[in-house]
Structure 1
Amino acid sequence: MDVGFIGLGAMGKAMARNLAVAGHAVRAWNRSGGAIEGVTMVDTPAQAFESDAVFTMLSDDAAIRSVVLAPGALDEARAGAVHIVASTISVAFASELVAAHEKAGVGFVSAPVLGRPDVAAKGELNVLAGGDPAAVERIRPLLEVIGGRIWDMGPHAPAANAAKIACNMMISMAIEAMAEAVVLTEANGLSRDRFFDLILGTLFGSRSYQVYSANIANGNYEPGFKAMLGLKDLRLASEVAADMGRALPMLAAVHGRMAEAVEAGLGDRDWSVMAELTIGASRPAPNQ
């Protein structure tokens, strides 16, 4: 299949490489250039749309708007093409994209992914696919290359985006929960390693707890997912809650804590660095 790819950050680069290795003809555009073995680089996003299917893996709504909608790349799309947006975007913008693609006569699938760059490199992402069932089936072979499992989020594309935002919200809550647990246990002489061994072996053995407990235990916050992006996703979750007129107190708490981390100059560290603010704030001052 001819595949276009727009956005070659750590995640996009791994996904595009896997598609090329699987035998698809991949042409890619990236704002800052770059090169991937087996992938043809093109000069404009519109050229990427001269394909059977096009993936977009850009950072946010504004990036997609400026790269895809503003320059009219959809107008250059091949007849029958399907655009797959794998980025984490707002529910409102996903609805806007549905309308824009219908107007342009281009298929649209929301397919945000769960997983970090190392998971993307292995082709084991969890793909949350929402949109017209016929369009999803047409590009399913591509999703199976990048994903270990494809999750059907139904025919309403924005539902996939709501699910991705909710998942990221819950991961941030898990990070904060572990940080607060460390406050209680360390104050009573129990090491982080020993406590995390307990929770991973009993109640909380999921990948999120495994990955982020290791970061907190080792104080190693090399970015897998940057705090500034985590803050963006929590803002998106807060916007959905506000649009519904609902108060979500746990969301408000982690949104505030992530904002503190970014304001403290930690935006380029892994988003689990927010745990250090909670743990550090619990320590008594030296003169106490």
Structure 2
Amino acid sequence: MNIGMIGLGAMGQAMARNLVKAGHSVKAWNRSGSPVDGVTMVASPADACQGDAVLTMLSDDSVIRSVLLEPGVLSAMKPGLIHVVMSTISVAFAHELVALHAAAGIDYVSAPVLGRPDVAAKGELNILVGGAPHATATLGPVFDALGKRVWDMGADAPAANAAKIACNMMITMAIEAMAEAVVLTEANGLARESFFDLILNTLFGSRSYQVYSAIIAAGQYEPGFKASLGLKDLRLATEAAGQAGRSLPMLAAVHGQMAATVDAGWGDRDWSAMAALTIG
């Protein structure tokens, strides 16, 4: 397929390489202009929107708005193109994008992903897909190149965004749970490595616990997924809860803790640095 990409951060670069490796023709635009082997860099976002599909990997609602909506790129998209937003955006903005694309006659799909850059590089992302069945079916070869499994979130695109936000919320809850458990166990003479060995082999063996227990045990919070982006996602979760008319106490706790992490100057460190704030 002829695929455009808009946004080549750590995740976008890994995804672009895998698309090229799978035999797709990839044209990309990035604000920094950073090249990727095998990818043709184009001069504008509109130039990346002239193929079969365009994948957007921009950091948040405001960037998508400034790059695509305000300059009128939507109206310049090739007829028949499918626009796929694969970053984490708000549920409210996803609803807005659905309406705007419908008015422009362009298929829109939400396909946020679960996985850090190392997972993206291996082509093992979990892809949460919401959108019209004919559009999501067409994208099968694209998703096959990027992920190990596609999770069908239904025909309403914003459902995929809600699922991604909820997943990220739960990861931060797992990070905070482990940090608080370390406070209790280390205060009573048990090394965190021994405690993590226990929980990983009994109660909590999922990937999130595996990945972040290792980071917490080492006390090394090198950037993987930045705390500033984690704070953004928790803000999106808080907004979605408000739109549902609900107050979520665990969400409020991790939102506050992540905000404190960023305020402490750790916004560019991995979001699991939140644990260091709790453990002290």
* Partner of residue 61, structure 1: 61
Q: CA deviation at 1:111?
A: 0.0
Cα distance between partner residues in 2 of 1:19 and 1:273: 32
- Amino acid in the other structure paired with 2:247: A
What does residue range 2-151 of structure 1 map to in structure 2 within 5 Å? 2-151=2-151
- Amino acid in the other structure paired with 2:198: L
Q: CA deviation at 1:244?
A: 1.7
Q: CA deviation at 1:154?
A: 0.1
Cα distance between partner residues in 1 of 2:158 and 2:222: 31
- Amino acid in the other structure paired with 1:163: A
State the identity %.
Answer: 71
Cα distance between partner residues in 2 of 1:31 and 1:138: 28
Q: CA deviation at 1:69?
A: 0.8
Q: CA deviation at 1:43?
A: 0.5
* Partner of residue 285, structure 1: none
Q: CA deviation at 1:242?
A: 1.1
* Partner of residue 272, structure 2: 272
Question: Secondary structure of the residue that 1:151 maps to in structure 2?
Answer: strand
Question: Secondary structure of the residue that 2:98 maps to in structure 1?
Answer: helix
What does residue range 177-188 of structure 1 map to in structure 2 within 5 Å? 177-188=177-188
Q: What RMSD over aligned residues (CA atoms) do the two structures have, in Å?
A: 0.6
Cα distance between partner residues in 2 of 1:82 and 1:225: 28
* Partner of residue 227, structure 1: 227
Deviations 1:82-140 (A, max 9, x none): 00000100000000000111111111000000000000000000000001011000111
Question: Secondary structure of the residue that 1:161 maps to in structure 2?
Answer: helix
- Amino acid in the other structure paired with 2:201: G
Q: CA deviation at 1:24?
A: 0.7
What does residue range 147-166 of structure 1 map to in structure 2 within 5 Å? 147-166=147-166
Q: CA deviation at 1:185?
A: 0.2
Return the TM-score normalized by structure 2.
0.99
Gaps of 5+ in 2: none
Question: Secondary structure of the residue that 1:258 maps to in structure 2?
Answer: helix
* Partner of residue 236, structure 2: 236
Q: CA deviation at 1:74?
A: 1.5
Cα distance between partner residues in 1 of 2:37 and 2:26: 10
Q: CA deviation at 1:167?
A: 0.1
Question: Secondary structure of the residue that 2:139 maps to in structure 1?
Answer: helix
Deviations 1:5-55 (A, max 9, x none): 000000000001110111111000000111111100001000000111000
Structure 1 consecutive aligned stretches of length 4 or more whose deviation exceeds 2 Å: none
Q: Does 1:170 align with 2:187?
A: no
* Partner of residue 283, structure 1: none
Deviations 1:144-177 (A, max 9, x none): 1101000000000000000000000000000000
Gaps of 5+ in 1: 281-288
Question: Secondary structure of the residue that 1:93 maps to in structure 2?
Answer: helix
Return the TM-score normalized by structure 1.
0.96
Cα distance between partner residues in 1 of 2:66 and 2:137: 28
Cα distance between partner residues in 2 of 1:131 and 1:206: 28
Count of aligned positions:
280
- Amino acid in the other structure paired with 1:273: A
* Partner of residue 213, structure 1: 213
Q: CA deviation at 1:79?
A: 1.6
Cα distance between partner residues in 2 of 1:93 and 1:146: 24
Cα distance between partner residues in 2 of 1:26 and 1:76: 18
* Partner of residue 255, structure 1: 255
Cα distance between partner residues in 1 of 2:223 and 2:140: 30
Cα distance between partner residues in 1 of 2:261 and 2:15: 29
- Amino acid in the other structure paired with 1:87: S
- Amino acid in the other structure paired with 1:198: L
